[in-house]
Structure 1
């Protein structure tokens, strides 16, 4: 896919109906030869719309109007480029726990959670958040994770987690204001509810930090998994991570995780997971597939806002 097509697809499939500002920017960049030429000088993995838009937000640039965005990017590219080369889209959306919860709660308890691509580890606490699936409420306190669930076997209790660890090439620290600022910049402009949710989740995690290890998804996974307590069900999970991993490494990861004891929970696009024979998604918007041990179970939205069960 060309860079222009990548931005157009992002605008039409991911941002449409979710972020008007990012939809405008993405469609404008797709036709902006000057900005596209700057992006083409970066490695392919660094040309992502989310990465560009988030870096501009982090630096205080405008992300509401395409013309102002264009002028800012062109004028400030010497500051933008190094940020894009050194950063990753590490969106750490705790709302994704709402789509993971029905699977996690149904597994043999207690759980030892190991998240691949953990960022700051906010998704390692599905037992601590409160959930609202329409009229179905689970847990208490803040933040409350809202999710529209269709055909889902909703649990009546949260999972019991006795060990939690994360693996990431660049773990983020919620006690570091600079890392929290990057997590904030990754949230789309209109999503004030997600920003409030980030603050509440970060405060909770800072009071009881998980084990976060800097490492590779393949090379360093076995050693970390071996630290999980033997009397708990090991669950290796990830959300919107594998698209950043080159395809041969994805295959190596899948083979490795299938050989570990316990279970594998994936929440990724169907293209990344290589799923065939799926039912039609609920809408034309981009959906992830929630899968347990390689078996597809449901369609999910990227920030955990919706879950449509078909498994």
Structure 2
């Protein structure tokens, strides 16, 4: 069980700092933080998984199962058109508390498994900096949709050079990302393609897209008032089913070496984390990377405190939001570590650093 005080702090932080772009979830998170009964539902989760997104995903899943409930009017993912108003919280509160047992069952058994495929647009320039073809290992992969990043199309909007296109010309999935420059920075090179010769996903419970209930849960983890993200998830899932990666069930730290061993040793190893280290101790993960028996690149997309701070300390300017980094490990040591960009949470924006 997780303490009520901790989950209320996390709900408040989510509403204040993390729910940008989601008026519905910002509204629900703020009210839940002030409501011990609703916040208390989240205490059913282990501490490492007891985040606001899990409470909201569980509620979303139950609204999916009752699409004619009045609350669905506030869920664009289910065709709702109402904005958050004075009725939203009372409806939500009564809905989840009337189904408290089912909410706790989901919260205690299902981790948040976000498949934010839009983040592929953030990761593409970093992976392109490693001379390929590469062996790509995604840690905390869920359904492995980011492992398909070499199959997606990209359009980066820049002030300096206009739109920059990358990826296969006839890609089924196209992603858009604003690419800005911090003072003193130069535009990164955006090659037309990245070469990925082998792919492996490591997750405690890899998500099977062919399982109907699992697929519904993954949809529920997408924020309910961002239907475009839901559409992109559906397209990426279709792409993934045509050429699924290999999955290794296991722990991000204890089983990292086992998963890396599934990739050919002649390929440069690129280990990818994206919004994962809030669930995994960052220091332990960095030590596991250093302990690999081969050189490795780490493409890190997490908050600075959870990720790059363990190899690139003293960069308080990187606090807040997401940070994209590229780190090289060899013979148990960090050979190089660089913060590449500040990022938007769901892939909508890159601010490239000098």
Q: TM-score over 0.5 for the alignment?
A: yes
Q: Deviations 1:66-115 (Å, cap 9, x if unpaired)?
A: 11111111111101101101111110111111111111112111010000
SS at match of 1:59: helix
Q: Does 1:30 align with 2:33?
A: yes
2:333 corresponding residue in structure 1: none
Q: Does 1:264 align with 2:298?
A: yes
Q: Does 1:115 align with 2:118?
A: no
Q: Does 1:222 align with 2:260?
A: no
SS at match of 2:150: coil
Whole-angstrom CA distance in 2 between matches of 1:83 and 1:41 = 9
1:132 corresponding residue in structure 2: 155
Contact map agreement 1:116 1:167 (CA 8 A) in 2? yes
Contact map agreement 1:106 1:155 (CA 8 A) in 2? no
Whole-angstrom CA distance in 2 between matches of 1:252 and 1:33 = 33
Deviation of residue 126 (structure 1)?
Answer: 1.4
Q: Does 1:8 align with 2:12?
A: yes
Q: Does 1:144 align with 2:174?
A: yes
Distance 1:41 1:183, change over 3 A: closer
Q: Which runs of 5+ in 1 are unaligned?
A: none
RMSD between aligned residues: 1.9
Q: Does 1:208 align with 2:211?
A: no
Deviation of residue 279 (structure 1)?
Answer: 6.3
1:278 corresponding residue in structure 2: 315
Contact map agreement 1:110 1:233 (CA 8 A) in 2? yes
Rg larger for: 2
Q: Does 1:80 align with 2:103?
A: yes
Whole-angstrom CA distance in 2 between matches of 1:89 and 1:41 = 14
SS at match of 2:60: helix
Whole-angstrom CA distance in 2 between matches of 1:210 and 1:91 = 17
Contact map agreement 2:44 2:104 (CA 8 A) in 1? no
Deviation of residue 41 (structure 1)?
Answer: 5.2
Moved more, 19-28 or 32-41: 32-41
Contact map agreement 2:200 2:245 (CA 8 A) in 1? yes
Q: Deviations 1:25-58 (Å, cap 9, x if unpaired)?
A: 0111111122233434543334311101111111
Q: Does 1:179 align with 2:218?
A: no
Q: Does 1:20 align with 2:12?
A: no
SS at match of 1:271: coil
1:298 corresponding residue in structure 2: 341
Q: Which runs of 5+ in 2 are unaligned?
A: 75-87, 158-162, 182-186, 328-336
Deviation of residue 184 (structure 1)?
Answer: 0.9
Distance 1:100 1:86, change over 3 A: same
Q: Deviations 1:117-158 (Å, cap 9, x if unpaired)?
A: 000010001110000111112133221111111124041222
Whole-angstrom CA distance in 1 between matches of 2:109 and 2:227 = 27
